[in-house]
Amino acid sequence: MMHPKIDREEIVERYVLGQLSSEERQAFEEHFFTCDECFQKVQDVERLRAGIRDTATRGLLNEAPAAVKADQASWFRWAFAGTACATFALALVTVWILGNQIPSLRQELRRTAAQLERERQTRTELEQKIASAALPEPNVPLVMLQASRAAENPSSVTLSPGAKRLIVWIEIGPTRFHSFRMEVFTAGKRPVLSLDHLERSAYGALAASLPVEQLPGGELRIILSGQNPPPVSVVGEYRLKIDKQ
């Protein structure tokens, strides 16, 4: 038995009211026991009928019990009309979700996956840098800086492709400061890096290890300031020319 025939001939309502022939009843039962939709309709109609019967029993329909009995099929049709509307609304919501929400969720998932991949790559690069930094490095380049004037030639150093650190050695004269700050700028005064809390070694000099990858080639200006005790004051200015092979 097909749904168009069930709807057209009001098979569900007639089944609940016991108005089907034995052949129709047997055919419908064979269908609705395997059809969730029709099984639910039968349950809905039976609940509706039970509600009407309970209302009549309580005397709430005493004014026109005959009319209710005569129009039970109409009541069922109205009930199914409401069910159909609700089903249609649910279908619209489902279509909206499929058409709008799922694509946006997929797009968000792709963005999240891309972000996770970038973070994974960053973590891998960081781990490689840490592992590389932990290894001993032979032939670390070193440059000794002298306080300079604008007209003087800068100190210079040549860095090989495999160099990872550059040691900067600065000898300073007597000073009231115990700790210092080093600031590195390009010739155009763009900040490159800075290093705080430098202290003189047993030789009376300052030594700092700078990462080569952060140092651009060309001429650099290095400003050394005394930090502690305050007030802060510039101790010296140095010029360094870096040649990267």
CATH (domain of 154): 2.60.40.1930
Is residue 25 located within the same domain as residue 121? Answer: yes
pLDDT tens per residue, range 200-230: 988 889 999 999 999 999 999 999 999 999 9
- Choose the final residue of a domain: 77, 100, 135: 135
Point out the domain boundary residue: 135, 166, 187: 135
| Predicted local confidence at residue 72, as pLDDT | 56
- Is residue 94 domain-shared with residue 55, that is, in the same domain? yes
Both 94 and 56 in one domain: the answer is yes
Q: Where are the beta strands (DSSP E) in the chain?
A: 142-145, 155-159, 165-171, 179-186, 191-198, 205-211, 218-228, 233-244
| Domain endpoint, select from 135, 151, 174 | 135
Pair (196, 121) in one structural domain: no
**Amino acid in the structure at residue 91:** A
Residues 112 and 7 in one domain: yes
Out of 93-97, 104-108, 123-127, 209-213, give the one with best mean pLDDT.
209-213
What is the span of the domain harbouring residue 12? 1-135
Domain identity same for 119 and 158: no
Query: What percent of the chain is predicted at pLDDT more than 70?
Result: 75
Which is more confidently placed, 200 or 66? 200
Asked whether the predicted pLDDT for residue 74 surpasses 70, the reply is no
Q: Are residues 11 and 73 in the same domain?
A: yes
As given in the structure block, the two tokens for residue 10 are: 């009001």
> What total number of domains does the chain contain?
2
| Closest CA relative to residue 16, chosen from 37, 34, 43, 36 | 43
Q: Taking the model in full, what pTM does it have?
A: 0.47
232 and 171 in a single domain? The answer is yes
Do 54 and 171 fall into the same domain? no
Confidence of residue 68 (pLDDT cuts 50, 70, 90): very low
Residue 11 pLDDT > 80: yes
Q: 35 and 101: one domain?
A: yes
pLDDT of the residue at 87: 72
* pLDDT the model gives residue 38: 82
Peptide bond into 65 cis (omega under 30): no
Question: What pLDDT score does 100 carry?
Answer: 62
Average pLDDT over residues 95-119: 75
What is the Cα–Cα distance from 154 to 50, expressed in whole angstroms? 102
pLDDT of residue 64: 45
> pLDDT digits over 133-189, tens only?
666 778 889 999 987 665 467 889 999 988 889 999 998 888 999 999 999 999 889
Question: Does one domain contain both 202 and 178?
Answer: yes
Do 99 and 216 belong together in one domain?
no
